[in-house]
Amino acid sequence: MKAYPIPGLSFSLKRALGITQAKQKIAKATGIPTSKAGLERKIGSMILKTLVGKK
């Protein structure tokens, strides 16, 4: 019989070591996202603001 994991329950080594929380604190303090998508979104927004000139 194969044991199936409990739905909705997972384990993250990064979260257990506190890496996720540290990255969140750095991102909040600096205003710079640590995720690839967040960083791309922020850079894209800055470029558009520069080109269009709106705030």
Q: What is the structure's pLDDT at 27? A: 93
In angstroms, the Cα distances linking 40 to 2, 3, 34, 35, 36 are 42, 41, 10, 9, 6
Tell me the pLDDT tens digit for each residue of 1-55.
Answer: 566 677 777 888 888 899 989 999 999 999 989 889 999 999 999 999 999 986 5
> Residue 1: what pLDDT?
54
Task: Please give the radius of gyration of the chain, using alpha carbons only, rounded to the nearest integer.
Answer: 18
The DSSP 8-state label assigned to residue 32 in this structure reads -
The reported pLDDT for the residue numbered 54 is 66
Please give the Cα distance from 46 to 40 (Å, whole number).
10
Looking at residue 7, its pLDDT comes to 79
pLDDT given at position 3: 62
